[in-house]
Amino acid sequence: MPTPEQVVKNKVCKLLNEAGIFFFQVNNGAVFDKNIGTTGGYRSLSKWAIAGVSDLIAIVNGQFIGIELKKNEKAKASPDQILFAKRVERNKGQYYLIGSEEQAKAMLIKLGINST
């Protein structure tokens, strides 16, 4: 059964796909490796991995869009996610915290995209 955040992710990705937006999911978490030690362990993140990076990255009309997905509209960004958002915005990109299909539709409207 999908988690609440996975439900939001699936709805948002469907909307983005239907709108013809170029986007991809970022997999930036530690990976469990059963071959580490005697009971397994997590691989280290790459030296160049960035903590707090958005769950989805999109490019709309040449502009970088970071989309952080949450289980609902009340969920908050972590300190690392807030720092990432500030770095995106400082570099003229846009960042959205999305916890519902309605918020995703509002984002598309703000980006000038007519969603169905």
The domains of the chain are located at 4-110
What CATH number does domain 4-110 carry, 3.30.1370.110, 3.40.1350.10, 2.130.10.10, 3.10.20.30? Answer: 3.40.1350.10
**CB count, 10 Å around CB of 65?**
22
Encode pLDDT of 37-70 as tens digits.
888 777 777 778 888 999 999 999 999 999 999 9
pLDDT at 87: 97
pTM of the predicted protein model: 0.86
Return the structure tokens found at 94.
């846009």
User: Please, is 61 exposed, middle or buried when counting C-beta atoms within 10 Å of its C-beta (0-12, 13-18, 19+)?
Assistant: exposed
